[in-house]
Chain A
Amino acid sequence: MDLHADNLSVTLANRHVISDIGFKIKPGVLVGVLGPNGAGKSTLMRALNGQLSVKGDIRFGEHDLAVIGPAARARLVAYLPQQRTIGWRLTVRDLVALGRLPWRAFGQRASARDEAAIERAMEMADIASLSPRIATELSGGEQARVLMARAIAQETPLLIADEPASGLDAAHQIMLMRSLKGLAAEGKTVLVSLHDLTLAARWCDEVMLLNEGNLAALGSPETVLSDENLARIYGVTAHRAQDGNGLIIAPVGLTETAPTS
């Protein structure tokens, strides 16, 4: 199913946070959503998940995500908010199991399929060993992985994750990206907002670069994360290199002219 946005605008408190964005993403693609602070990454992701009222069209396959009901949407779109909230002293496993809520009728017990999805999601987020631990007693990075696993367990064709890599150590950042790539390889559409340019460049199939609510560029990491775009939008100069697995982009300094904001 294609994810298709047309003339998409979001206005929050009389400010255009997203103005007139349009794009089309094929299934099986891992998309990195990039852009400086305040570019509209989180707003776009919330809008795609129906958390905000929008102008324009958002379609996922034949489904109109702007009008779809919450129960039906929850079986199509999984969303990991940037804000990491864990309300009670729940075990890791119970938290991940919440991802199966959309697939269970009221009062129904977890099915074998639910159990399998929970186990798999915990494997992918490398938290299987934390299963009986109390989530609120874990480190920030571990909590981030638990919440990611919750979204993965939802097993939806579209997964939207807002900064899942922040707070993760280097190894777990790579593990996270590998898992997301694996999900995309299964034919899911995965949108993930990132700050790390190298992570985006090496793992994402496509990169969506946002700037002040506009879509500045969408395409392969090589074309989108060009020196020119980095200078114009981030206001940085970067050192770049290439190895057998892809691009390495390390921001090293600021450009002479401040970024256009």
Chain B
Amino acid sequence: MKLCMSLILLVFVLFVVSLLVGPAELRVEDSIAGLFAGGSEAAAIIMREIRLPRALLGLAIGMSLGLSGAVLQGFLRNPLAEPGVIGVSSMAALGAVLVFYSGLAGSSLYALPAGALIGALLAILVLLAIAARQGSTLTLILAGVALSSLAGALTALVLNLSPNPFASYEIIFWLLGSLKDRSMEHVALALPLMAAGWFLIALSARAIDALSLGEEAASSLGISMSLTRFLIVAGVALCVGAATAVTGTIGFIGLVIPHLIRPLTNRMPSSLLLPAGLGGAALLLAADIAARIVLPAGELNVGVLTALIGAPFFLWLVVRARREML
């Protein structure tokens, strides 16, 4: 597993760089001291309460998005399947926005993942129903486009209707996510859910391999389709729901990474899972570092960067998918 080892190394390096980048411009030795030594000096607070949760979330959310993309592509035998493209992320954002801004749960942060999970779950169930009836690549993508536009519009509507005038400024956050100013509370909120999602997705590894041969052959190889569907729907909903709840919609990671990594593997869907997760973590960490460097004070939304990389890539894939089926 040379590939995994080098990816782990890359993720580690980016994680460390992510800890060292920030507007406070701490010196490297102060950063390290702040992270490990105790105390309540500014450096310690910045490292432990601001930069560490940010790097942890970048790692875990990138991992979740990479894994979700890889498992969805394997499950649907569709190289364009990705939580952002097919509208799962935007539905998760809508769910979070509906529950949070309505104030149903007071102003508790727990409202966010609850709503996002429901939104993601609904989206996947709708898409699977559509994809199951008509297996074509295009159908799924078109359904995803419809779902994302609807969810995006409704998100904007809900935020505009909020009695709090500041809410409408947060449309951008939900449509193009950001890791800015997250805290350990967000890590505690999202990480357990994402870890559960990783576990469920890992359990589906055999099934997505067998599904390379189609559903009937897979089922004849001892794969329970209903169990597999449950594992993947729940796993992706947990990953994407929890990720979107704390960072808004971050698109294209689950699309770009599996494609970059697949040629480096034997292309068996299961052997793509771990490298795609690690690759996703590396990409999101790198994008988040770039977001802080490009505009140090104002800070770019990281979703803008992933879209800038991902959207042209997606176009290229669409053009290529016409010529050769992967």
A/B touching: CB–CB < 8 A:
yes
List chain A positions with a Cβ less than 8 A from chain B: 46, 49-51, 69-75, 77-81, 83, 85-91, 94-95, 98-99, 101-102, 106, 136, 147, 150, 154
> In the assembly, what is the distance between CA of A42 and CA of B182, in Å?
57
- Residue in B212, B222, B269 whose beta carbon sits within 8 Å of that of A95 in the complex: B212
> Is the pair B206, A136 in contact by a Cβ cutoff of 8 Å?
no
Interface core residue of B77, B222, B266 (most chain A CB under 10 Å): B222
> In the assembly, what is the distance between CA of A90 and CA of B270, in Å?
12
Name 7 interchain pairs, CB-CB below 8 A, sorted by A. Answer: A71-B222, A81-B216, A85-B213, A87-B74, A87-B214, A90-B266, A147-B213
Q: Which chain A residue has the least Cβ–Cβ distance from B227? A: A70
> In the assembly, what is the distance between CA of A87 and CA of B209, in Å?
9
- Residue in B213, B219, B267, B325 whose beta carbon sits within 8 Å of that of A98 in the complex: B213
- Residue in B211, B214, B222, B262 whose beta carbon sits within 8 Å of that of A74 in the complex: B222
> In the assembly, what is the distance between CA of A69 and CA of B221, in Å?
11
Dominant secondary structure of chain B at its interface with chain A: helix
| Nearest 6 pairs of A and B residues by beta carbon | A74-B222, A85-B214, A79-B220, A87-B212, A87-B77, A71-B222
Q: How does the 8 Å CB contact mask read for B239-278 relative to A, with 1 for contact and 0 for none? A: 0000000000000000000000010001111000000000
> Is the pair A80, B217 in contact by a Cβ cutoff of 8 Å?
yes
> Is the pair A83, B214 in contact by a Cβ cutoff of 8 Å?
yes
- Residue in A69, A77, A98, A99 whose beta carbon sits within 8 Å of that of B212 in the complex: A98
Q: Which chain A residue has the least Cβ–Cβ distance from B216? A: A81
> In the assembly, what is the distance between CA of A138 and CA of B219, in Å?
25
Supposing A70-B224, A88-B326, A101-B222 touch, asked if A79 and B216 sit within 8 A by C-beta, the answer is yes
What is the number of residues of chain B that contact chain A, defined by CB distance less than 8 Å?
A: 26
Which residues of chain A come closer than 8 Å to B205, judged between CB atoms?
A: 106
Q: Which chain A residue has the least Cβ–Cβ distance from B263? A: A89
> In the assembly, what is the distance between CA of A72 and CA of B224, in Å?
11
- Residue in B74, B210, B222, B267 whose beta carbon sits within 8 Å of that of A89 in the complex: B267
B223 near A: Cβ within 8 Å?
yes
> Is the pair B216, A102 in contact by a Cβ cutoff of 8 Å?
no
> Is the pair A70, B212 in contact by a Cβ cutoff of 8 Å?
no
Residues 188 to 236 of chain B near chain A (Cβ within 8 Å): 203, 205-206, 209-214, 216-217, 219-224
> Is the pair B222, A75 in contact by a Cβ cutoff of 8 Å?
yes
> In the assembly, what is the distance between CA of A154 and CA of B223, in Å?
14
> In the assembly, what is the distance between CA of A98 and CA of B262, in Å?
18
> In the assembly, what is the distance between CA of A197 and CA of B210, in Å?
33
> Is the pair A73, B216 in contact by a Cβ cutoff of 8 Å?
no
**Sample of 6 further A-B pairs with CB below 8 A, known A70-B222, A70-B223:** A73-B220, A79-B216, A85-B212, A90-B212, A98-B221, A136-B325
> In the assembly, what is the distance between CA of A74 and CA of B218, in Å?
10
Q: Which chain A residue has the least Cβ–Cβ distance from B270? A: A107
Q: How does the 8 Å CB contact mask read for B165-191 relative to A, with 1 for contact and 0 for none? A: 000000000000000000000000000
> In the assembly, what is the distance between CA of A73 and CA of B221, in Å?
8
> Is the pair A90, B222 in contact by a Cβ cutoff of 8 Å?
no
- Residue in B210, B220, B269 whose beta carbon sits within 8 Å of that of A88 in the complex: B269
Query: Closest CB-CB distance, A186 to chain B, in whole Å?
Result: 20
Q: Which chain B residue has the least Cβ–Cβ distance from A88? A: B267
> Is the pair B210, A91 in contact by a Cβ cutoff of 8 Å?
no
> Is the pair B211, A78 in contact by a Cβ cutoff of 8 Å?
no
> In the assembly, what is the distance between CA of A79 and CA of B222, in Å?
11
